Chain A
Amino acid sequence: MHRWGLFSGRGTRITVIACTLGLSVPAMALAHVERTSYWPDPRPDTSVKPAAGGAVPKARSLASALNKKAPGTTRVVCQTGSLSRLRHSIRRAESAGFNNRPTEPLRKLRKKAGTRLLRINQKLYKRCRYHLIQPAVTASHNDDRVVIMPGIYTEPESRAVPAFPPQCEKYRTESDHGSGAVSYAYQFNCPNAQSLVAVIGRALGPGQDPPTSPTGRPDPHGIPNLGGCIRCNMQVEGSGVDPDDTVIDAGRVASGNGAPIGSKKDVGLKADRADGIVIRDMTVRHAAEHDVYILETDGYRMARMKFFYAGEYGALMFTSDHGLTDTCEAAGNGDSGVYPGGAPDTGTRRDTHYYPAFRLNQEITHCDSHHNNLGYSGTMGNATHVVDNNFYDNTTGIATDSFFAGGHPGYPQDSSLFERNRIYSNNFNVYAPGSDVKSAVPVPIGVGILIAGGDDDTIAGNDIYDNWRRGTMLIAVPDAISCAPNPDEGAPPCTPQGAATTSNGDRYYDNVMSRTPDGKPMPNGVDFWWDEFPSNTGDCWFRNQGINGTTASITSDPPPPPVEGTSVPKFLPEDCGAPGDVGVGDARKESVLVGCVADFAQGDYDATVCDWFAPPSRPAAGGSGGGGIGGLSLPAPGDKVTLTTSLCDLLGGEGGTLDCSPFLRRI
Chain B
Amino acid sequence: MQSVPAPHLSGLVPRRAGRRAALLVVVAAACTVALASALPIGHEHGPAPWAPPGVALVGGLPLQQARCEQWLGASQAERSRALNALHGVVGGPTPFGQATALTPPEAERLFDRTCSNGYARYFLLYELYTRASGFRSLVDPSGV
Contacts and interface: CB of A to CB of B under 8 A. Distances in A.
B50 A598 contact: no
A216 B128 CA distance: 23
B90 A406 contact: yes
B100 A19 contact: no
Contacts of B60: 29
Contact of A481 (B3, B94, B117, B143): B94
A405 interface: yes
Given A31-B64, A480-B133, A600-B132, A440 B123 contact: yes
B51 interface: yes
Contact of B132 (A1, A26, A438, A599): A599
A251 interface: yes
B93 A590 contact: no
Contacts of B73: none
Contact of A33 (B1, B63, B143): B63
Given A154-B3, A406-B92, A478-B135, A33 B62 contact: yes
Nearest to B5: A131
Interface residues of A, number: 116
A598 B135 contact: yes
Contact of A214 (B55, B92, B131): B92
Given A18-B31, A23-B38, A478-B135, A217 B64 contact: no
B97 A479 contact: no
Contact of B27 (A14, A79, A406): A14
Interface string B29-62: 0111011001111110011011111110100111
B95 interface: yes
A440 B6 contact: no
Main secondary structure of the interface of A (DSSP, over half): loop
Given A178-B85, A406-B91, A251 B42 contact: yes
A359 interface: no
Interface of B: 1-9, 12, 22-23, 26-28, 30-32, 34-35, 38-43, 46-47, 49-55, 57, 60-65, 67, 85, 88-103, 106-107, 109-110, 113-114, 117-124, 127-128, 130-144
Given A598-B138, A604-B140, A128 B49 contact: no
Interface in A591-632: 593-594, 597-605, 607, 613
A26 B6 CA distance: 29
Nearest to A601: B143
Contacts of A598: 110, 131-132, 134-136, 138-139
A508 to B, nearest CB: 22
A156 interface: yes
A19 B118 CA distance: 40
Contact of B26 (A6, A214, A288, A493): A6
A2 to B, nearest CB: 11
B78 to A, nearest CB: 14
Contact of A178 (B28, B50, B63, B122): B63
A80 B29 CA distance: 14
A188 interface: no
Given A22-B31, A28-B49, A478-B134, A4 B6 contact: no
A488 interface: yes
12 contacts: A80-B4, A129-B9, A131-B6, A215-B98, A406-B94, A411-B95, A442-B123, A486-B100, A490-B98, A496-B95, A499-B94, A603-B140
Contact of B131 (A151, A403, A440): A403
A303 to B, nearest CB: 24
Contact of B119 (A11, A334, A613): A613
B135 A29 contact: no
A334 B123 CA distance: 9
A15 B61 CA distance: 31
A570 interface: no
A130 to B, nearest CB: 7
Contact of B34 (A22, A491, A594): A22
Interface stretch (A59-67, A259-267, A574-582, A652-660): A259-267
B143 to A, nearest CB: 3
Contacts of B133: 403, 479-480
Contact of A405 (B53, B100, B109, B119): B100
A586 interface: no
B46 A600 contact: no
Contact of A406 (B63, B93, B122): B93
Contact of B102 (A156, A600, A605): A600
B37 to A, nearest CB: 10
Contact of B140 (A126, A406, A597, A601): A601
A252 B31 contact: no
Contacts of B57: 29
Given A4-B26, A590-B138, A593-B135, 20 more contacts: A1-B26, A22-B31, A22-B35, A29-B51, A131-B9, A152-B2, A156-B2, A214-B92, A253-B2, A403-B127, A403-B131, A406-B93, A406-B101, A439-B119, A453-B134, A478-B134, A479-B135, A488-B103, A499-B95, A599-B110
A245 B104 CA distance: 49
Interface stretch (A42-50, A103-111, A169-177, A461-469): A169-177
Choose among B1, B7, B52, B134 the residue with the greatest number of A CB atoms under 10 Å from its CB.
B134
A34 B90 CA distance: 12
Contacts of A78: 6-7
Contacts of B132: 597-600
A600 B103 CA distance: 11
Interface string A8-52: 000100110011001101111111111000000000000000000
Contact of A478 (B32, B94, B137): B137
Interface in A109-135: 126, 128-132
Nearest to B54: A180
A151 B3 CA distance: 8
A441 B92 contact: no
Contacts of B38: 23
A153 interface: yes
Nearest to A79: B4
Nearest to B22: A4
Contacts of B121: 438
A128 B6 contact: yes
Contacts of A14: 23, 27
B144 to A, nearest CB: 6
A647 interface: no
A578 to B, nearest CB: 27
Contacts of A509: none
Contacts of B62: 29-33
A442 B128 contact: yes
B26 to A, nearest CB: 5
Nearest to B40: A27
